[in-house]
Amino acid sequence: MVTLVDGLLDAMARKGQVDLIEDFAASIPIEIIGNLLGVPNTERGPLRGWSLAILGALEPVLTPERAASGNTAVREMLAYLSALVDDRRAHPRDPDTDVLTRLIQGDTGSETGNATEAERLTETELLHQCIFLLNAGHETTTNLIGNALHALAAWEGEKARLIAIMGEPTVVKSAVEEFLRFESSNQLGNRITTEETVVGGVTLPPDSRITLCIGAANRDPAQFPDPDRLDLTREPNKHIAFGFGIHTCAGMNLARLEARVALSKFLARFPDYALAGDPVRGGRARFRGFLHLPARVQSR
Q: Which domain holds residue 88?
A: 2-296
Say if pTM beats, i.e. exceeds, 0.85. yes
pLDDT at 137: 83
Largest CA distance in the chain: 60
For the chain, the domain total comes to 1
Least confident residue range of 50-54, 111-115, 165-169, 187-191: 111-115
- Considering the chain, what percentage of its residues have pLDDT values greater than 70? 96
CATH number for the domain harbouring residue 133: 1.10.630.10
State the average pLDDT for the chain.
92
User: In angstroms, what CA-CA distances link 91 with 36, 87, 114, 150, 300?
Assistant: 16, 6, 17, 43, 47
User: Per-residue confidence at 115, pLDDT binned at 50, 70, 90?
Assistant: low
Q: What is the pLDDT of residues 117-155, one digit of tens each?
A: 557 899 999 999 999 888 888 889 999 999 999 999 999
Quick one: pLDDT at residue 6?
A: 97
pLDDT at residue 136 in the model: 81
pLDDT at 1 over 90: no
Question: With 80 as the cut, is the pLDDT of residue 107 above it?
Answer: no
pLDDT above 70 for 209: yes
The CB-side HSE value for 106 (13 A sphere, CA atoms) comes to: 13
pLDDT band at 101 (very low <50, low <70, confident <90, very high): very high
Share of the chain above pLDDT 90, in %: 79
Residue 66, pLDDT score: 93
232-262 pLDDT per residue, tens: 999 999 999 999 888 888 889 999 999 999 9
203 CB-contact burial (10 Å; exposed 0-12 / middle 13-18 / buried 19+): exposed
Contact call for residues 66 and 73 (beta carbons, < 8 A): no
CA distance 75 to 259: 31
- CA 44 → CA 17, 29, 206, 220, distances in Å? 24, 12, 43, 39
Q: CA-to-CA distance for 143 and 187, rounded, in angstroms?
A: 11
